[in-house]
A and B are shown apart, each in its own frame.
Chain A
């Protein structure tokens, strides 16, 4: 037991080193490259410069301010997309006729990149919060909707037969059999939906907003502040990564609690 534990700590350490080694090496060569002049520091600033810029942005409060606004938009858009996606997805999973009615529309709209919809939404809704939030809704909606439908349709038919023979009412079938069956899939959809929302908020703010982290990136570009731009883009990436990790953890927790016996 003690030995196993030691082993697992050791293998974890090895794993961590493997994960961290490539980015670390990249940073080291990057820094050296800028210092000895083989990389143009004006176009690609050195990591040390980026770190200083990052601290400066935080001190001035710019970064937090932008992130806060972006987060608010993401939460609004994501909530709307969740309610719409889970409801529509659930109905599409249960009612074949409803599914047939919507599926062609969904399949045409879904492959359109969110960026392509931004100009249209701005024309319709004007520059402002409703356009920003709508873009996020679209960016988050599809994975939520599709995963909900798939989860509902994967419900074990034998359990539904059981419910029929034992004359359990429709609400009990929907909420006590189908919903728990679909829960894991719905959570996957929500997790992908948050990622989608985060990507869309940046895109939306780069094109049609005067605040938020996406806007800050465009602003830095227009002032040719290369270091700011890099820092902001990296922050977007890291936050996206953290959101996904956090939600994966949350998903596993919830499913352990409610979807026991499902591996």
Chain B
């Protein structure tokens, strides 16, 4: 793994106006992401995690500071970067294969498209469902389609905004393994927003803990356990405890006991 920076965030700030008041949602965040890294962002609800991803994809404007992807300041959605949303966001009138082909570049040849669609349907384990409409799939399968759609565009940087949040524990663990496999195979840089501490430790090289009001980087925790990781390992649990301590620094001991 080279130490080349793919994403660089410097003194990033975001204010929203709600009525006549200005709310400082993100108050000066800085961190760098290296090529090929798997990073998780964790923080309490409302601390600005989705807002951060939206700024990286230029869906939200930047109030102050700077975001650079491969050295280029972000003003429009960057072609190296793609996002998987919390909901699958499939076009309901298109079949699985057409949904995946939909976001491929228009100048790509028909054969190349067909090939990419086919291989990515296989990758997420949906062979046989090529012609199915989203309404004919379960929530987990729909999310797989949206993962396939994102990966087919071959991004260097993939942003994931709680992509497994709405799924049951069983499907979630399955998809985590799939994402991990894909990451190991394709070396895509991953930036994952999650609520799930276990998920963050299971998957990432680094966990960035954000504080709220305004959002700031509270801790940047390195996870250097070998993969595949086991959720019951002593070391796993130790890291879990340190993430919890960061998250509940100001919280009561009971909160912590509850989670542990």
Which residues of chain A are near B57, meaning CB under 8 Å?
164-165
- Beyond A260-B133, A261-B134, whether A162 also contacts B85 by CB under 8 A is yes
Which residues of chain B are near A176, meaning CB under 8 Å?
91, 102
A9 within 8 Å of B (CB atoms): no
Which residues of chain B are near A258, meaning CB under 8 Å?
93
A167 pairs with B79, CB closer than 8 A? yes
B93 pairs with A262, CB closer than 8 A? yes
Task: State A158–B133 Cα separation when bound (angstroms).
Answer: 18
B89 pairs with A167, CB closer than 8 A? no
Which residues of chain B in 51-108 are interfacial with respect to chain A, using CB atoms and an 8 Å cutoff?
57-59, 76-77, 79, 82-83, 85, 87, 89, 91-93, 102-103, 106
Task: State A166–B58 Cα separation when bound (angstroms).
Answer: 11
- The size bracket of the interface on A is 10 to 19
Residue among A161, A166, A167, A260 having the largest count of chain B Cβ atoms under 10 Å:
A166
- Beyond A258-B93, A260-B92, whether A161 also contacts B59 by CB under 8 A is yes
- Beyond A158-B87, A159-B91, whether A167 also contacts B106 by CB under 8 A is no
Which residues of chain A are near B135, meaning CB under 8 Å?
260-261
Task: State A161–B133 Cα separation when bound (angstroms).
Answer: 21
Which residues of chain A in 171-226 are interfacial with respect to chain B, using CB atoms and an 8 Å cutoff?
172, 176-177, 180
- Beyond A176-B102, A260-B133, whether A165 also contacts B91 by CB under 8 A is no
B76, B102, B106, B133: the one within 8 Å of A169 (CB):
B106
Which residues of chain B are near A168, meaning CB under 8 Å?
102-103
B83 pairs with A261, CB closer than 8 A? no
A166 pairs with B92, CB closer than 8 A? no
Which residues of chain A are near B103, meaning CB under 8 Å?
162, 166, 168
B146 nearest CB neighbor, chain A only:
A162
Which residues of chain A are near B40, meaning CB under 8 Å?
none
Q: Looking at the assembled complex, report how far the CB atom of A29 sits from the nearest CB atom of chain B, in whole angstroms.
A: 51
- Beyond A162-B85, A166-B103, A176-B102, whether A260 also contacts B93 by CB under 8 A is yes
A167 pairs with B85, CB closer than 8 A? no
- Beyond A164-B59, A164-B77, A165-B77, whether A158 also contacts B93 by CB under 8 A is no
Chain B interface, DSSP helix/strand/loop, else mixed:
loop
Which residues of chain B are near A161, meaning CB under 8 Å?
59, 85, 89
Which residues of chain B are near A233, meaning CB under 8 Å?
none
How many residue-residue contacts, CB under 8 A, span A and B?
Answer: 49
Task: State A162–B87 Cα separation when bound (angstroms).
Answer: 11
Which residues of chain B are near A172, meaning CB under 8 Å?
106
Task: State A162–B102 Cα separation when bound (angstroms).
Answer: 11
A127 within 8 Å of B (CB atoms): no
B153 within 8 Å of A (CB atoms): yes
Q: Looking at the assembled complex, report how far the CB atom of A68 sits from the nearest CB atom of chain B, in whole angstroms.
A: 38
Q: Looking at the assembled complex, report how far the CB atom of B55 sits from the nearest CB atom of chain A, in whole angstroms.
A: 12
A259 within 8 Å of B (CB atoms): yes
Task: State A261–B132 Cα separation when bound (angstroms).
Answer: 11
Which residues of chain B in 127-149 are interfacial with respect to chain A, using CB atoms and an 8 Å cutoff?
133-135
B89 pairs with A262, CB closer than 8 A? no
B-contact 0/1 string along A144-175, CB 8 Å cutoff: 00000000000000110110111111001000
Q: Looking at the assembled complex, report how far the CB atom of A164 sits from the nearest CB atom of chain B, in whole angstroms.
A: 6
A176 nearest CB neighbor, chain B only:
B102
Task: State A168–B89 Cα separation when bound (angstroms).
Answer: 15
- Beyond A258-B93, A262-B92, whether A166 also contacts B85 by CB under 8 A is no
A165 pairs with B92, CB closer than 8 A? no
Task: State A166–B84 Cα separation when bound (angstroms).
Answer: 10
A261 pairs with B79, CB closer than 8 A? no
Which residues of chain A are near B79, meaning CB under 8 Å?
167
Interface residues of A (CB under 8 A from B): 158-159, 161-162, 164-169, 172, 176-177, 180, 258-262
**Which 4 pairs between the two chains have the least Cβ-Cβ distance?**
A261-B92, A261-B135, A166-B103, A165-B57
Q: Given A162-B89, A165-B59, list of 12 further CB < 8 A pairs?
A: A158-B89, A159-B91, A161-B89, A164-B77, A172-B106, A177-B91, A180-B91, A258-B93, A259-B93, A260-B93, A261-B92, A261-B93
13 contacts between A and B (CB under 8 A): A159-B89, A164-B59, A165-B57, A165-B77, A166-B82, A166-B153, A167-B79, A168-B102, A172-B106, A258-B93, A260-B135, A261-B92, A261-B135
